[in-house]
Amino acid sequence: MYNILMHSDEISRVEYDPNHPFKPGRGKQLLDLLKRHNLIFEDNQKIISPEPLDESLLLLAHTRYYIDLFKRADEGEFSLEMLEAGLGTGDNPVFRGMYRFALLTSGGTWQGAQMLDSGEARFVFNPIGGYHHAGKNHAGGFCYVNDIGIAIMDLIKRGRRVVYVDVDVHHGNGVQDLFYKDSRVLKISIHESGMTLYPWSGFQNEIGADAGRGYNVNIPLLKGTDDEVYVEAFESVVPPLVKAFGPDIVFAQIGGDVHKEDPLAHLRLTSNGYKRVIQTINELSPKVMATGGGGYNVYKTSALWALAWATFCGLTPSDHYAGVVGGMMYGPEAHAGSLEDEPFVVKGAEKDEYRRHADEVVDYIRKQVFPIHGI
């Protein structure tokens, strides 16, 4: 089975707005780092250019009304209804070609899920995918079309069991809302608390409803939380729940905005904690559909994704350019002979506060959710 990277130069060239923090060009930077660190030349690896999603599949996660508004906005129309649907805002500007961009990025996630389901692939990574904030009838948080929701909905309609693990710093509210009453998908999101960060949701008491009660799990953490507390909380909750659920496929939204140098959020992870979490997901998962999600320090995000790719593929990065003068050594990553960060640990009363909060969240989940799964 193959390890597959979804990439196209067309996607990487897209720009929401020159000053917008979401940069699809991270996909090209990731590919450069994979080549530089000897991570993309194995016989069992493929780079595939995504095909546009069939428009009819959008209806798996969105209303016809919203899709029509989105298409009309792309064609240059403007209406108050579009603004009400989140189109034309600062977060989700209208730009030429945005509908094709959404179809291409969503197509990469859907196509990857199909390849996993057929047995052609064991791991697929769509770095410019993972639009977990898009709702049924609105855009939000830089997300126009919920590619994850579409691909998961298609799988569960065919009887597959799916776990969705979201380690992006922002709560995966769009995916949560889509499957909140559904027991066919186990959704776990670990993120900075909605008390301090968009989308202001994802608290531990949001555990699903009706048939889906106990199948929606949130691990909100205080801003400033470091690797140690993050990994402790993740490993206390995710492995037992995933093992109890027994998925056919795991979706992993692996946003790089958990990094301590991300400009739009406040967790303080390094590559060390991030890689540990990726290793755990890899060990738990029979097949993995990973999406890139957020990350607004472009180099750090690309470096974290390169580490994730290496982990899922069972490879160790080795820098071809280490010690060489010229070329990429003059680029933005010139300071980084390695994709890895130095360890960073918070101490004292601050650390105690982060751990106390995380322990309370984990205790709540153990009492309210674990028994539903026989744990």
Cβ atoms of 233 and 361 closer than 8 Å: yes
Cβ atoms of 101 and 7 closer than 8 Å: no
Which of 97-111, 121-135, 171-185, 329-343 has the lowest average pLDDT? 329-343
For residue 218, pLDDT over 90 is answered with yes
Cα–Cα dist 57/50, whole Å: 15
Q: How many CA atoms lie within 13 A of 122 on its CB side?
A: 14
CA gyration radius, the chain: 20
Run of H or E including 154: helix 147-156
| Predicted confidence band of residue 319 (pLDDT cuts 50, 70, 90) | confident
pLDDT at 162: 98
Q: What is the mean pLDDT of residues 105-118?
A: 98
Catalytic choice (37, 62, 133, 170): 133
Q: What is the mean pLDDT of residues 76-100?
A: 97
Q: What is the value of pTM for the model shown?
A: 0.95
Query: Length of the chain, please?
Result: 375
For residue 214, the Cα-to-chain-centroid distance in whole angstroms is 22
pLDDT at 338: 80
Name the nearest CA neighbour of 328 among 318, 317, 340, 336: 336
Q: What is the pLDDT of residues 6-43, one digit of tens each?
A: 999 999 999 999 999 999 999 999 999 999 999 999 99
Cα–Cα dist 268/228, whole Å: 10
| Predicted confidence band of residue 246 (pLDDT cuts 50, 70, 90) | very high
pLDDT at 335: 47
Q: What is the pLDDT of residues 113-156, one digit of tens each?
A: 999 999 999 999 999 999 999 999 999 999 999 999 999 999 99
Q: What is the pLDDT of residues 336-362, one digit of tens each?
A: 558 999 999 999 999 999 999 999 999
Q: In 157-224, which ranges are continuous DSSP H helix?
A: 173-178
Task: Tally helices (H) and strands (E) across the chain.
Answer: 11, 8
What's the chain's average pLDDT?
A: 95
Q: Which CATH number fits domain 2-373: 3.10.180.10, 3.90.226.10, 3.30.559.10, 3.40.800.20?
A: 3.40.800.20
Cβ atoms of 217 and 186 closer than 8 Å: yes
For residue 277, pLDDT over 90 is answered with yes
Annotated catalytic residue 373: no
Q: What order of strands is seen across the sheet that includes strand 2-6?
A: 45-48, 2-6, 121-126, 288-291, 249-253, 162-166, 185-192, 216-221
Two structure tokens written together for 257 = 């905005």
Q: At which residue do the structure tokens 């189109």 appear?
A: 87
Q: What is the mean pLDDT of residues 73-86?
A: 96
Q: What is the pLDDT of residues 49-64, one digit of tens each?
A: 999 999 999 999 999 9
Cβ atoms of 150 and 123 closer than 8 Å: no
How would DSSP label each residue in 345-370?
---HHHHHHHHHHHHHHHHHHHHHTG
For residue 323, pLDDT over 60 is answered with no
pLDDT at 361: 98
Two structure tokens written together for 287 = 């097949």
pLDDT at 113: 98
Cα–Cα dist 316/134, whole Å: 35
Domain ranges of the chain: 2-373
pLDDT at 329: 46
Q: How many CB atoms lie within 10 A of CB 284?
A: 18
| Predicted confidence band of residue 318 (pLDDT cuts 50, 70, 90) | confident
pLDDT at 324: 55
pLDDT at 222: 98
